[in-house]
Amino acid sequence: MIRMLTRTSKTIVKTPGKTVLDYLADRFTYRSSSGWLDEIKAGRVLVNDSPANPSQILELDDAINYNPIPKPEPEVNPNVAVIDETDDFIALDKPPNLPCHPAGCFFNNTLWAMLKTGRVKGLDPMDNIHLVSRLDRETSGVVLVAKSPKAAKLASDAINASTATREYVVLIEGVFPDHLEAEGFLWTSPNQTIHKKRQFGAIPPANAINPESAKTTFETIARNNGLSLLSATLHTGRTHQIRATLASLGFPVVGDKIYGLDETIFLRFIDDALTQQDQDKLKLDRQALHAKKIAFSYNQKQMEFIANTPDEITNLIRK
């Protein structure tokens, strides 16, 4: 029988004096006051590990635990493979369509939960999970898991050191130069259609939100059919760094719903309303981005973990 985890939300009271019902309704507005009353009466809200009373007055540092009814989650790709295991690490090859961490509608259908419940082939359940590297849900490739907080801290520092290597393979629209050093800034702009979408350029504009320096080295591996297969080496580790940089340069990643040829595809995607024309334009049902290699120095040893590029990416350029 497959073991599943129970989602629990915990908060510590820092504004005492309110009733449990008023506190929850005021702070967590995604549920109405009557909705929270139903949850309390159903016994799904605890205060200091005891069933809550809606009229109970909260005190400073009271602990509130909320255990919602589990909801069905979207299907994911469970085919995680173990690349290598050492005394301190497990290197995994994460497939596309699998979130690393719980977020939104994903909880049990995540790499984190699969590791905790022993649903990764060849691995026992892990109580303490420390994901040193993380990937977007649609990105495949190497994910490094540390077996202890100490190893996680040391590895995180090592991966972000200038001597480390983080290499990706990416398939893009267009005919790319043989070599390109993309150094500049990433930022978001006010009033853009997709709030989390970032832009890349040499100098951020005056209204740029949270500008961050970013540098990526791109090398072309192959070209065919108006597409280019690239190697991308990260010198900084920014959110959406490769995808946003390439889109701003005019070479969007194949299959990318946010940074692709048409950003309105993402709006239809979240509404579950993709058309056949959208799917034809995307070419893949995932973004064609793969974390191929992580290499770093750890305890005076050189560590290197490699995940082979999926055929679904390379086949498009071979046709």
- Which runs of E-coded beta strand occur in the chain? 9-12, 45-47, 50-51, 63-66, 81-85, 89-94, 130-131, 140-146, 165-173, 179-188, 199-201, 209-224, 227-234, 289-298, 301-306
Distance from C-alpha of 21 to C-alpha of 24, rounded to nearest angstrom: 5
Which residue in the block uniquely carries the two structure tokens 């046709």? 319
Alpha carbon 252 to chain centroid, angstroms: 19
Selecting among 88, 136, 256, 272, the annotated active-site residue is 136
CA–CA–CA angle 306, 308, 312 (5° rounding): 150
Amino acid occupying residue 82: V
49 flagged as catalytic: no
Alpha helices in 46-193 (DSSP H): 111-116, 149-159
Catalytic annotation, residues: 136
